[in-house]
Structure 1
Amino acid sequence: MPLTDTITYPLLIGDIGGTNARFAFVAEKGDAPIALVKRPVAGHAGPVEAMGAYLKAHPDKKPRTIILAVATRVNAAVVHLTNASWTIDSRQIGRAIGAESVLLMNDYAAVAMALPFLAGPDHLAPLGPELPGDAGARLVLGAGTGMGATALVPFENRFAVLPTEAGHTEFGAVEEGELALWPYLERVHDRVTSESLLSGPGILRLYEALERQRGNPPALVTPAEIVAAGMRAQDGPFHAALTQFAKFLGRFTGDLALIFSATGGVYMGGGIAPRMVEFLRQSPFRQAFERKMPFAEIIRQIPTFVITDREPALTGLTQFAAHSERFLITLHGWSASSMS
């Protein structure tokens, strides 16, 4: 039996990232998610404990199906978060919570499935020219604790959902000034990857590398402090780090738009871009995005947006549960009916 056939209401849905886990309850098909709660991943031993705390606070909520969007590559019924210590074991979760089935998918697959249902200023903020896009593939990506990316490709009257690990591809210097910066960058697993620069920790790495290059000792600051200070300032080390981040983000986003021919538009979520929409509009982001000769003219016609919907992954999970026949995606998980 396909896992989509095991979806029965009520639902517990969750978006589990490297820093926070968000849960909501959907009582009936077509209902909006309710009782939204956010829990720090580091504050719980695992997902069962975090969900148990949620359900203990809402004893009337008894889910039959649990659908989780998790920040890792989902290729089995048991997966491990890339940037946190949790193990997501669908069978363990189902039996501990008393659900009939547990479905797992990548977190940005869930965000991608929200795209057909997002429109207007409450959900999207344009970056660069307001372009119509077309009916082609759409791309969603997001910088937060890590970097996620998924393509949403139209296929007849449905959508193929293609999660990627694009954040773990190599990221290289292109301009002369960048070549001089590269020796000062902290390596992660002896690599400079897209995620190692285009994430919260990546902003900190860029700031520290720029300061070391100038011969200055980096201040003890957090990524959030760099973002806040960089947006306030007109110059200085924090502004320089944030500007470099925006340029690199534009370049990486443009590369992915080329790879997936994302003529339907590029959409950015995550914990960082929605906080700095105006900064990104004034930054080199769009210029770097479009610098793709010999296909620059094609890229210039692709719209770019920041997702301002507060919980796009939960929006996507809700729509997937109600309209699973519209999405082509490989799921993993556990069902009591399979006796596995």
Structure 2
Amino acid sequence: MVPPLVTLAPSADGTAAAAGPGLIADIGGTNARFALVGPDGVAHDSRTLLCADYEGPTAAARAYLAEVRPPAAPVRGAFCVACPVTGDAVALTNNPWRFSVEATRQALGLDRLTVVNDFVANALAVPLLTDADRVRVGGGASVPGMPVAVLGPGTGLGVALLVPTGDGRVVPVATEGGHVTMPATDAREAAVLERLARRFDHVSAERVISGAGLVNLYQALCGVEGVEPAAGEAAEIGRRALDGEDDVCLRALHLMFGMLGTVAGNLALSSGALGGVTIMGGIVPRYLDLFRASPFRAKFEAKGRFRDYLAAIPVDVVTHRYPAFVGLAGLVV
């Protein structure tokens, strides 16, 4: 599917939204977050629903609308989903939901429904976020008119690009970069990845840079170091690392952030992302201080002859609570 050209601005007079609010949704592996968008392009009345409680996006959207009771029925919708979007049929990667875009549009009574990859929505938000919505982690100034790489761990590892066209518009490019092969850059990483290769036929970046990936790394690191695991879930590993009560948990988290640096550096080189690299997802902002103290930036820049090239590229961590809503809002106004 050819990515759309998008102008990142609401209609000047609000006429496009006069008939009713826009309905937006960020659908991931665990949660579906809904909101309405008014003529000003600002999302409001957001709610988070558990995907497991509903058969699909139609049922979840109806439950959301029944709760917030907008004064007028939405006529336009924009959903982002954590999976490839190549046509009418959508199948979530880490979620059993399967749906037709057209059937969903009809069931919800919408005139238009746009469905994009979740990191396309995140990428579209990047130029619209303020300095208060991000934290700089090294690098120099972004180069205007150059691509921006967007990636981040959550339930999975999302990756997208934002390519300016030079005429005030951008092309958001969805990728499946989370499934590239994860390389080892030192002996400890090699030992951990070797253990994971016994479990998985392909150790992708997402296998080690995500919520489930943190568990995989922790368990493999415990095996390498010959200790019994003391935590079983990503949240517990993160808590023990954050509280300073478990050095293995801390090493696992730093290992994941270092691997994220390797993948982000590879992406920046491959895409020419002199416009900057933006880190999103729920994990990094939650552990921001540990992230800044981790090997991320060193691994990001460790590309031999191109160290200086990467040292100049700024990396921002987005702290906005729902950046995808910012990107989706521009698709319904």
TM exceeding 0.5: yes
Partner of 1:55: 65
Question: Is 1:177 paired with 2:191?
Answer: no
User: 2:200 and 2:57 mapped to 1: Cα distance?
Assistant: 27
3-state DSSP of counterpart to 2:305: coil
Q: CA deviation at 1:139?
A: 1.0
Partner of 2:137: 127
User: 1:288 and 1:3 mapped to 2: Cα distance?
Assistant: 33
- 1:91-133 CA-to-partner distances (Å, cap 9, x unmatched) read 2212221112211100100111111111212x1011135x221
Partner of 1:299: 310
Partner of 2:158: 148
Judge conservation of contact 1:125–1:277 (CA < 8 Å) in 2: no
Q: How is 1:1-340 mapped onto 2 (pairs within 5 angstroms)?
A: 9-28=20-39, 30-60=40-70, 61-121=72-132, 123-129=133-139, 131-135=140-144, 136-157=146-167, 158-185=169-196, 190-233=201-244, 236-322=247-333
Judge conservation of contact 2:134–2:318 (CA < 8 Å) in 1: yes
- 1:39-63 CA-to-partner distances (Å, cap 9, x unmatched) read 1112222111111110111233511
User: 1:3 and 1:302 mapped to 2: Cα distance?
Assistant: 25
Change (3 A) 1:31 1:137: closer
Q: CA deviation at 1:189?
A: 5.3
Using the size of structure 1 for normalisation, the TM-score is: 0.88
Mean alpha-carbon deviation: is it higher for 301-310 or for 171-180?
Answer: 171-180
User: 2:203 and 2:158 mapped to 1: Cα distance?
Assistant: 16
Judge conservation of contact 2:23–2:34 (CA < 8 Å) in 1: yes
Change (3 A) 1:87 1:117: same
Q: CA deviation at 1:234?
A: 7.4
Q: CA deviation at 1:311?
A: 0.7
3-state DSSP of counterpart to 2:330: helix
Judge conservation of contact 1:186–1:209 (CA < 8 Å) in 2: no
Change (3 A) 1:71 1:268: same
User: 1:36 and 1:178 mapped to 2: Cα distance?
Assistant: 40
User: 1:138 and 1:3 mapped to 2: Cα distance?
Assistant: 15
- 1:288-312 CA-to-partner distances (Å, cap 9, x unmatched) read 0011121111100001111011110
Mind listing any 5+ residue stretches in structure 1 that lack a counterpart?
A: 323-340
Partner of 2:13: none
User: 1:177 and 1:223 mapped to 2: Cα distance?
Assistant: 21
Judge conservation of contact 1:81–1:88 (CA < 8 Å) in 2: no
Judge conservation of contact 1:3–1:103 (CA < 8 Å) in 2: no
- 1:248-307 CA-to-partner distances (Å, cap 9, x unmatched) read 111111110111111111111111011011111111110000111211111000011110
- Identical-residue share of aligned pairs (%): 36
Judge conservation of contact 2:37–2:332 (CA < 8 Å) in 1: no
Judge conservation of contact 2:152–2:279 (CA < 8 Å) in 1: yes
Change (3 A) 1:84 1:259: same
Q: CA deviation at 1:3?
A: 11
- 1:194-248 CA-to-partner distances (Å, cap 9, x unmatched) read 0111000000000000111222232342101111211221762101101111111
User: 1:282 and 1:214 mapped to 2: Cα distance?
Assistant: 22
Judge conservation of contact 2:23–2:36 (CA < 8 Å) in 1: yes
Letter paired with 1:247: G
Letter paired with 1:167: G
3-state DSSP of counterpart to 2:251: helix
Letter paired with 2:126: L
Letter paired with 1:132: A
- 1:161-192 CA-to-partner distances (Å, cap 9, x unmatched) read 11100001111222122222223226675110
Judge conservation of contact 1:10–1:26 (CA < 8 Å) in 2: yes
Judge conservation of contact 1:231–1:279 (CA < 8 Å) in 2: yes
Judge conservation of contact 2:5–2:172 (CA < 8 Å) in 1: no
